[in-house]
Structure 1
Amino acid sequence: MAAPAAGSTADWAGTIQSAIDTASRRGGEVVQLAAGTYPLSKPLVLRSGVTLKGAGAATRLKAGPQFLTRKGPFGGHPLITTNGATKVTISDLTADQSGNTLNGNTPNRLNEYLIDVRYSTNAVVQRITTVNPFTYSIAVVASTDFCVRYNTTSVATNGKYDQLDGIHILDSSFGVVQGNTVDQGSGTDGDDGLVAHSMGEPIHDVAYLDNTVRGGRHGSAMQIAVADAGAYNLTIAGNRFWGSTGGLVTGYYGGTGPVTNVSVRDNTFTDIPGPSVDIYGAISGIVLSGNTAVRSGAFQVVSGFGTRIDVWGNSY
């Protein structure tokens, strides 16, 4: 697709959406965007079999002045949503929600997210840079067989928003979150860096590997957040958590579901004044090993009915 003219404010939502729809009807193709800034007046909906690919960070999809007048399928304001599509990829571009210039505090702000993978299978989000969010930066909701890798998130606003998580995995399973750089702490509005979250369904069989993460003022580097559904078979390994109020924590929202079979190993916690690890509640099968705390708090694991908690080989 030809690049926009420099400084153009023309709306590209219809043109890009038409290319996505055509590519899906043809059985699945790549929609290639050249470098440049593409203002959008409404969310883009990715279709099955389609790869939406830019030329790197210089390809910028940007919420335009009229963006908040149009809603996504679930009443929010995602920049890109998969909305039930299968075998999709979003890659190599900057996603700018314009939360620094738009007032994103709408009633349905948290219904959908900046990059919104939802009700999908075989979805990949890679090498995306998210900027100026007014909701979670990258979210995977009620999806399976996903990969979120080598992305960069940031929050730079101050006093405008809350609940600005970085990469938030909700009610999803069989996925990998790997090699991302998550920084929710550049401004004061950021919340948790990484989240494993269950509400109606458990989150399970998800690996968080080799990420570099700073949580924001309102949250921790990573949270396992559960209601009654709980979480199981999580691997959290090789990550660098730094500069956050808390390290890896559990949180309970509307329920006390079990957290079982979680391996936390070979992570580094640096400059975290609260606990490096604070896992508590209805937990079992927790393995905490080979982690290092540098100028950071303790490793705390407290079980409600745990059958196996292994804590060894950690250092301060």
Structure 2
Amino acid sequence: MKGISHFITGVALATFFPEVVQLGAEGVLLPMLAGIGGILPDTLDFKFARYFEKYDLEIDPGLDPDPEYIADVLAAAMRRAYESGTSQNVMAHTVRLGPDLWREYAIRFDPEAGEVAVRVGPLVNTGQVPYAGTEPAGMEEARRKVGAPLVHTYSSEYKINIFSGPSFRFAREGEDLYVHFLDWHRRWSHSLTLSVVLGGIFGLLFGKWAGLVAGLGFAAHVLEDQVGYMGSNLFWPFTAKRLPGLGLIHSGDAIPNFLTVWTSVALILFNLDRFSPAPLLPPARYLLVAIGAPWLVLGGKYAWDKIQARLEPTSREARRQADIIAEVEEKVE
């Protein structure tokens, strides 16, 4: 979900504790600490972890990308990973032609044919809107045999166009070669175990309520992300792989983010009122009108739209990739 959604969720959760509300009235901004805990997992990933990611190979397509060259390099890295048993981490850089102009190219993994394919696409702007008629004339898709059974964990095709470009980790698991997308994201930083550790550290340094709200905000972020497609490594360091998400929402979808922010603000006001010396809000009526009605109307519309979208010929893997890309683009803008 968006950063503001994670932040305000943490603040709202902190206000459920009357002691925290009272301390806030005295000038101790513990709810803000909970909000900071709520945005910390992605901050660790996008402002720290990704810069320490090491790549075995970086593909620089230049200003005039050659699909034959890119396909050769990818296929060689995939064969190397399969034959040696040592994973290969590959970064595919984008093609920036101007302040708001990029050349798109696509990488496609074809498990049925055992191939990797690359094609050069149109020019696009930073909003990923293509310019009609800008595809290179006469340039065909380049295809290369990998020589290993392929399993792609997200989409079979990845469009590479704006910002820093994606990374792939090719790893042999049993008799199959797995293609992992953005392997560095939501690993150790999105762990419920880490939320407990973080809460303990803050508790020792700043007191039990600081530890509670910081850990709670952090954990809320992890669980909110699990509602999407990508999932997280929930119990690092005891587990090594991301647990796939529930696939109920995309992180960038407007309605879930709006409802999260709206509900959080409504709960903050409700909690501040009920812990005040003279509460004014009728609890049942307020919760029904302020939270129940928006969820019924907007949540119902969103659910209907999702049902309609699932009737379209789009794979779960493609929807999962869209979720990841939407989040990555938000963080690197």
- Give the TM interval when normalised to the shorter protein: under 0.3
TM-score by length of 1: 0.24
TM-score by length of 2: 0.23
The higher radius of gyration belongs to 2
